[in-house]
Amino acid sequence: MSLLVEEKLEKLVQGGTETLTKRDLTDALSMGPSIDGLLARAAHTVLLRTLGPGVCPTGIIEISNSCQKNCLYCGLRRGNSTLPRYHMTVEEIVSAIENGWRHGIRSFLLQSGELLGEAHAGSVVEVLRRVAGRWGDEAGMVLSIGELPRRTLEELGKAGAHRYLLRIETSEQELYNRIHPKDGLHRFGARLQCLADLGETGWQVGSGVLVGVPWQTVESLASDLLFLRDRDIDMCGFHPWIEHSDSPLAEYRDLAPEREARVRLTLRMTALLRLMMPDIDIYATTALQMLDPDGPEKGLLHGANVLMPGLTPSKYRLNYRLFDGRTAVPDDPGRVMAAMTARCSAIGRKLMPGEPGDPLHYIRRILSVRAGG
Ligand code: SF4
C-alpha cells in the first residue's frame, strides 16, 4: 500500500490529479522517513504550479491575552493565574498596523483569546473602521478572536474585516472533549456552528489543527485533513503541540510523540493539505519555528505560502504565551522582514509584501458562485 502512495505522489509531481484517500493519508503520515523527500517535492511542485514562488507576509498583532476559555493545552487559559493579562488600546493596535504598513505589510492578523462582550468586539470594530478609513481595501484584515455570535461576526465584517481564522484543533469529537474542559463553554458542536456561520456570513474562512497532542492518532489526523477539505476552507495553519507548564495537558506529555516527531507530522500535514487543496493559503506558524529554528523554511518547502512577522509591541509579546519557550524578537518590522526575505531567497522563494493577501481559493470560489457554478 505504501508503494501506491508513493506512486500517487510521483504522479502529482508530474502534473496528475490523483485524489488522496484516507488510507493514503494515514499511510503517508505513518511511514518512515523515506516518504519525506517525495512528499515535500510533490507539495512544493504543486504549490509552485498553482500559486508560484510568492510568500505573503501577514503581520500578526496579539491584541489581548485574556480569554474566557480554559482549553487544557493553552497558556492563555482563564485558569492560568500566573499570567499577567493585557489589552492593547485601539491607538496601540492602529499604531502597530502602521508600523507594519511602513515596511510594506498589507495583510494583518488581529489575534486574541476569546472574549465575549461589547467592549472587546467594540474596540476591534473601532480598529477596523479606522483602518478602512485610512487605507481602504489596500489593507487585508484577518481576525482570530474566538467563537463569536453570528451577529457579532456580521458587525465585524461590516466594519471591514473579511478573513477569519477559527481553529478546530481536532475534527474528532472524542479527542476534542479530552483536551477541553467539560463545562458547557467548550462545545465541539458550537465550534462547528461558528465555522458554518463564518461561511454563511461571507467570510474567507481559515482553520487549523494541533498536531501531536496526547491520544491523537494518524487516523485522527487523516480525518482532520478530510474535514478541512470538506469544509472547503480558504486558509489553514498547523501547530505542533508544545507543552505549557501551567496547562493541565502538560502532565500527559509522555503520551505525545517526541518533539522532533511532532515537527515531522506537522510538515507532513502541511504537504498533504497542499496536495489536497492546491490554491488555499497555508501558514508556516510561529509554533513550528519554536520547535525547529528552520521551521519557516521547512514549512515553505512543504507547501506553506504565508509567513507571519510579529507586530505585537515587545512590552506585550512575551505575555502572549500559548506555550512554553516564547522568546523575544526584534521590535523592528524592518529587521524581521529583512530576515524573512533572506529565508525565502535561500530556498528560491520570494517574499511579496504589498498584497492584502486574499487566498486564490476564495477568489475562485466567489467567481464560481457568481458564474452560477
Ligand atoms: S486556545 Fe484560544 S480559546 Fe482556548 S484558552 Fe487558549 S486562547 Fe483561549
CA atoms within 13 A on the CB side of 47: 28
The residue to mutate among 65, 70, 77, having the most atoms of ligand 1 within 8 angstroms of its beta carbon, is: 77
Report residue 141: phi and psi, to 5°: -105, 125
CB contact at 8 A, 276 and 225: yes
Cell of 205: 474562512
Q: Residue 215 above 60 pLDDT?
A: yes
Give the model's confidence band at 321: pLDDT under 50 very low, under 70 low, under 90 confident, else very high: confident
Return the percentage of the chain with pLDDT > 70, whole number: 98
User: Which of 154-168, 271-285, 320-334 shows the lowest per-residue confidence on average (mean pLDDT)?
Assistant: 320-334
Beta bridge partner(s), residue 60: 109, 310
Distance of alpha carbon 13 from alpha carbon 20, whole angstroms: 14
> Residue 117 C-alpha to ligand 1 middle, in angstroms?
16
Nearest to 354 by CA among 135, 62, 207: 135
- Mean local confidence (pLDDT), 137-148: 95
- 303: CB partners within 8 A, 6+ apart: 43, 44, 46, 47, 270, 271, 273, 274, 275, 282
Distance of alpha carbon 165 from alpha carbon 203, whole angstroms: 10
Closest ligand 1 atom, CA of 169?
Answer: 1
Ligand 1 environment, Cβ below 6 A: 67, 69, 71, 74, 76-77, 113-114, 146
pLDDT of residue 169: 97
For the stretch 10-37, pLDDT in tens is 999 999 888 999 999 999 999 999 999 9
pLDDT of residue 236: 97
131: helix, strand or coil:
helix
Q: Residue 2 above 60 pLDDT?
A: no
pLDDT of residue 246: 87
Q: Residue 115 above 90 pLDDT?
A: no
Give the model's confidence band at 278: pLDDT under 50 very low, under 70 low, under 90 confident, else very high: very high
Nearest to 242 by CA among 295, 173, 282: 295
Q: Residue 109 above 80 pLDDT?
A: yes
| Element spanning 240, H or E | strand 235-240
User: Which of 29-43, 55-69, 133-147, 326-340 shows the lowest per-residue confidence on average (mean pLDDT)?
Assistant: 326-340
> For the chain, what's the residue count?
373
> Residue 111 C-alpha to ligand 1 middle, in angstroms?
11
Distance of alpha carbon 362 from alpha carbon 299, whole angstroms: 22
pLDDT of residue 118: 76
Report residue 232: phi and psi, to 5°: 55, 45
- Mean local confidence (pLDDT), 185-192: 96
> Residue 103 C-alpha to ligand 1 middle, in angstroms?
30
Q: Residue 329 above 70 pLDDT?
A: no
Closest ligand 1 atom, CA of 75?
Answer: 6
Q: Residue 314 above 60 pLDDT?
A: yes
Q: In this structure, which residue's CA is closest to atom 2 in ligand 1? A: 113
Distance of alpha carbon 166 from alpha carbon 236, whole angstroms: 9
> Residue 4 C-alpha to ligand 1 middle, in angstroms?
39
Give the model's confidence band at 355: pLDDT under 50 very low, under 70 low, under 90 confident, else very high: confident
Distance of alpha carbon 268 from alpha carbon 261, whole angstroms: 10
Cell of 367: 467567481
| Cβ burial, residue 286 (10 Å; 0-12/13-18/19+) | buried
Q: Residue 122 above 60 pLDDT?
A: yes
> Residue 71 C-alpha to ligand 1 middle, in angstroms?
6
For the stretch 223-252, pLDDT in tens is 999 999 999 999 999 999 999 988 999 999
pLDDT of residue 3: 58
pLDDT of residue 39: 97
**Residue in the structure block whose three cell numbers are 484517500:** 21
Write down the mean pLDDT value for the chain. Answer: 93
Whether domain 53-370 has CATH 3.20.20.70 = yes
Q: In this structure, which residue's CA is closest to atom 4 in ligand 1? A: 71
- Mean local confidence (pLDDT), 331-352: 93
The per-type count for the chain, helices as H runs and strands as E runs, is 15, 9
Q: Round to the nearest angstrom and report the end-to-end CA distance of the chain.
A: 36
- Mean local confidence (pLDDT), 338-364: 92
Task: Report the 10 Å Cβ neighbour count for 359.
Answer: 25
pLDDT of residue 331: 72
Distance of alpha carbon 77 from alpha carbon 83, whole angstroms: 9
DSSP string, 104-127: T--EEEEEE----SHHHHHHHHHH
Calculate the CA dihedral of residues 182, 121, 319, 77 and round it to 10 degrees. Answer: 0
Cell of 245: 507548564
| Element spanning 164, H or E | strand 163-165
Q: Residue 1 above 60 pLDDT?
A: no
pLDDT of residue 163: 96
